[in-house]
Chains A and B, each alone.
Chain A
Amino acid sequence: MVAFLIISIVSSQPWQTIKIFLLEPVSTKAHFGNVVEMAIPLMFTGLALSLLFKANLFNLGAEGIFYFSGVVAASIAIHAHLGEWLHPAAAVAAGGLVGAALSAIPGILKAKWNANELVTSLMFNSILFGVGLYLLNYKLRDAKAFANVSYKFEPTALLDKLVPGTRIHSGLLIALLCIVAFHFFVYKTKWGYELRMTGINREFAEYSGIRTARVIILVHLLAGLIAGMGGSIEVLGMYNRFQWTALPGYGFDGALVAMLAKNKPLAVVGAALFLAYIRVGADLMARMSDVPSEMIAIIQAVIILLISAEQFLKFWKNRMLLKEAAKS
């Protein structure tokens, strides 16, 4: 709705533009491929953040971890010489483990000393970005390339393309596998139950015998693992050099995905696809019409505000009730 409104104000041919925005992403195989490619990293960070949010932990560290694990995976992809399967597996595993280790630090701080995980994780984002950029500029940078990019990855390290004609890569399978696994984990295991209870009320969970400190550290480890794997897979699946000179933003997008999915692992798939769909739509629209793609940022903000305002409707209802009560 908002999108249409903005388009009609800005564009000289509103109908044409709206049509591009809505239909173009699903019109050709290549464009739909773009949607799926973009959804893959969003699935990883969305999953990581829904786990954290589910445990009522507001940690936004996925952003920095995603970036830094990408650097780690890239350096393995450049310097190691391994076989066809082993190479990407090693790179992704290393990225994931580094992510888990880094994520554990705010987790331990929170669990043991109740340090605010939001602030510490935000600090970590900036630190990891600084260190990652340093590694890129001083250790991995290809002096022969014209831009600020790393050496080329060894071809063995790249992830296989699944669908010819698109860039959809095997990372998609890993993402879906993780999502199913964590759905099972959250809803069918004892650990998952403890996680949910801790999220609802940490003190109550503690009194009922759950060792919440351990739960919090575990959730951080898992979320870091997923975010780290996501960063590594994105780098190996989509590029042949490491080329992020700014934080890619998937960590914060993950918060949006998690929220759209109401923190349910399975719903993350749909939420990530939806977000990717409107983004690709906006990109194509910018290319084919006179509306710049940055419009999508405004739409996203409105989506976040409206959906997260769970009490939006309730608020008006309450108001009506109060008014009625006042009358009688």
Chain B
Amino acid sequence: MSSFFDVILTTDFAFSVLRVMTPILFAAMGALISNRAGIVNIGLEGIMLVSALTGVVVSAYTHSAWIGLLAAAAGGTLIAGILALFTLQFKTHIILGGIAVNGFASGGTVFILYLLSGDKGSSTSLQSKVLPSVDIPLVQDIPVLGPILSGHHILTYTAIVAVFIVYYLLNRTPLGLRIRSVGENPQAAQSVGVSVVRTQYIALLLSGLFAGLGGAYMSMGYVSMFTRDMIAGRGWIALAAEAMGRSTTLGTSLTSMLFGAADALSNALQVLKIPAELIGTVPYVATLIGLIVYAVSETRRKKGNKMKTGQAVKK
């Protein structure tokens, strides 16, 4: 057991939590926005994958990591836009639309990768760029905290800023109010003049944008190339984080961090011969339990309310 804590209680471990948390946090913010508008976007996984490839390809051809990042974000938004067009305009069921996006991404990225580089596995032959890491002045000199907080990838800091932006957007702006009202009760929102379809469009596009940033981080920061199926379930974890965070910005960020920690842990614990396969399931089990507890308490509450109103009527 002492070796277990030896692994966890190091600045390296805390640093790696932030590192692996970044893509999950981005995608979870995407999941949060679309869920608040009443849309379960299970295409996040695919959107991230497409963006990861877009970032690599565009940065390789333009020799600029920043244009690559821009293209990755735009690519994510575009895929989300297509998904939105079909689900909102043509009434494809959102789940089927999401499956289509994921299927397209996992095969389509390999297809395009093969056409461009002649390799089906990874993009090693493309001279892609990576985005820089940043040392924060002053902070990096603080003992313990310095090595944890400083020296991260620029998108890691962006992800943390994104949390505040999303919080502000959802809770302090008219658009946020519209998104939330459409998610809670579309009919009511419609009746007071909120365009449901337009709001959901915006929410889906934003969710694609965030997932796209997460994808860009994967191929231009976490590692420096694209490999097939490199997102490896992070889109699903983001949905789990969102569900377990009960669709609040704070809760979602905290659970993303928790899942990041679980992910980092499964990397770290391989040294200790605890099967990584089982540790990998921990976030999902935790989410499942969280969901069950929440669903049970919700049902109890509703039943309680019904009983109360029932008694009131009798009187």
Could you tell me which A residues sit within 8 Å of B by CB distance?
10, 58, 60, 109, 112-116, 118-120, 122-127, 130-131, 133-134, 137-138, 252, 255-256, 259, 292, 294-298, 300-301, 304-305, 308-312, 315
Complex: A39 Cα to B102 Cα, angstroms: 21
16 CB contacts below 8 A, A to B, read A109-B295, A113-B296, A114-B298, A123-B284, A131-B281, A137-B275, A137-B277, A292-B110, A294-B114, A296-B107, A297-B110, A298-B108, A308-B100, A310-B91, A310-B92, A312-B90
Q: How far is the CB of A251 from chain B (nearest CB, A)?
A: 10
Complex: A311 Cα to B88 Cα, angstroms: 10
Q: Which residue of B lies closest to A304 (CB)?
A: B100
Interface-lining segment among B64-72, B160-168, B204-212, B236-244: B236-244
The answer to whether A311 and B90 touch across the interface, beta carbons within 8 angstroms, is yes
Complex: A315 Cα to B233 Cα, angstroms: 35
Interface-centre pick from A60, A109, A122 (highest chain B CB count, 10 A): A122
The answer to whether B90 and A294 touch across the interface, beta carbons within 8 angstroms, is no
Residues of A within 8 A of B93 (CB): 58, 308
The answer to whether A120 and B110 touch across the interface, beta carbons within 8 angstroms, is no
Q: How far is the CB of A5 from chain B (nearest CB, A)?
A: 14
Residues of A within 8 A of B295 (CB): 109, 113-115
The answer to whether B239 and A119 touch across the interface, beta carbons within 8 angstroms, is yes
The answer to whether A127 and B91 touch across the interface, beta carbons within 8 angstroms, is no
Complex: A317 Cα to B100 Cα, angstroms: 25
Known: A127-B281, A252-B103, A301-B101. A315 touches B114 (CB 8 A): no
Q: Which residue of B lies closest to A298 (CB)?
A: B108
Which of under 10, 10 to 19, 20 to 34, or 35 or more describes the interface residues of B?
Answer: 35 or more
Partner of A301, one of B104, B243, B277, B294: B104
Known: A113-B299, A120-B288. A304 touches B108 (CB 8 A): no
Not counting A58-B93, A119-B287, A131-B277, a sample of 14 additional A-B residue pairs whose C-beta atoms are within 8 angstroms of each other reads A113-B298, A114-B295, A115-B294, A126-B233, A127-B284, A134-B278, A252-B103, A256-B96, A256-B99, A259-B96, A292-B110, A304-B92, A309-B90, A310-B91
In B269-300, which residues have CB < 8 Å from any A CB? 275, 277-278, 280-281, 284-285, 287-288, 291-292, 294-296, 298-299
The answer to whether B92 and A305 touch across the interface, beta carbons within 8 angstroms, is yes
Known: A122-B42, A294-B108. A301 touches B278 (CB 8 A): no
Could you tell me which B residues sit within 8 Å of A by CB distance?
40, 42, 86, 89-93, 95-97, 99-104, 106-108, 110-111, 114-115, 120, 233, 236, 239-240, 243, 275, 277-278, 280-281, 284-285, 287-288, 291-292, 294-296, 298-299
Partner of B120, one of A292, A298, A304, A315: A292
Interface-centre pick from A126, A252, A256, A312 (highest chain B CB count, 10 A): A126
The answer to whether B281 and A297 touch across the interface, beta carbons within 8 angstroms, is no
Residues of B within 8 A of A127 (CB): 281, 284-285, 288
Partner of A122, one of B92, B107, B239, B277: B239
The answer to whether B106 and A297 touch across the interface, beta carbons within 8 angstroms, is yes
Q: How far is the CB of B249 from chain A (nearest CB, A)?
A: 19
Q: Which residue of A lies closest to B107 (CB)?
A: A297
Q: How far is the CB of A44 from chain B (nearest CB, A)?
A: 18
Complex: A34 Cα to B306 Cα, angstroms: 58
Q: How far is the CB of B306 from chain A (nearest CB, A)?
A: 14
Q: Which residue of A lies closest to B86 (CB)?
A: A305
The answer to whether A123 and B288 touch across the interface, beta carbons within 8 angstroms, is yes
Interface of B is mostly: helix
Residues of A within 8 A of B91 (CB): 309-311
Known: A130-B278, A134-B277. A123 touches B287 (CB 8 A): yes
The answer to whether B86 and A309 touch across the interface, beta carbons within 8 angstroms, is yes
The answer to whether A138 and B275 touch across the interface, beta carbons within 8 angstroms, is yes
Known: A294-B114, A297-B111. A120 touches B100 (CB 8 A): no
Q: Which residue of A lies closest to B237 (CB)?
A: A126
Residues of A within 8 A of B104 (CB): 297-298, 300-301
Residues of B within 8 A of A255 (CB): 95-96, 99
Partner of A315, one of B89, B100, B277, B296: B89
Residues of B within 8 A of A295 (CB): 107, 111
Residues of B within 8 A of A298 (CB): 104, 107-108, 111
Known: A127-B284, A297-B106, A315-B89. A113 touches B292 (CB 8 A): yes
The answer to whether B285 and A119 touch across the interface, beta carbons within 8 angstroms, is no
Interface-centre pick from A60, A137, A298 (highest chain B CB count, 10 A): A298
Known: A115-B291, A292-B111, A294-B110. A131 touches B278 (CB 8 A): yes
Residues of A within 8 A of B233 (CB): 126
Q: Which residue of B lies closest to A312 (CB)?
A: B90
Complex: A304 Cα to B46 Cα, angstroms: 15
Partner of B92, one of A126, A130, A256, A308: A308
Q: Which residue of B lies closest to A297 (CB)?
A: B107
Complex: A134 Cα to B102 Cα, angstroms: 26
Complex: A130 Cα to B101 Cα, angstroms: 24
Known: A126-B233, A294-B108, A301-B100. A119 touches B243 (CB 8 A): yes
Q: How far is the CB of A51 from chain B (nearest CB, A)?
A: 16
Residues of A within 8 A of B236 (CB): 122, 125-126
Partner of A112, one of B96, B99, B281, B299: B299
Residues of B within 8 A of A120 (CB): 288, 291-292
Partner of B288, one of A118, A124, A259, A309: A124
Q: How far is the CB of A139 from chain B (nearest CB, A)?
A: 11
Residues of B within 8 A of A296 (CB): 107
Partner of B108, one of A122, A124, A297: A297
Q: Which residue of B lies closest to A115 (CB)?
A: B295
Residues of A within 8 A of B298 (CB): 113-114
Residues of B within 8 A of A126 (CB): 233, 236, 240, 280-281, 284
Residues of A within 8 A of B95 (CB): 58, 60, 118, 255
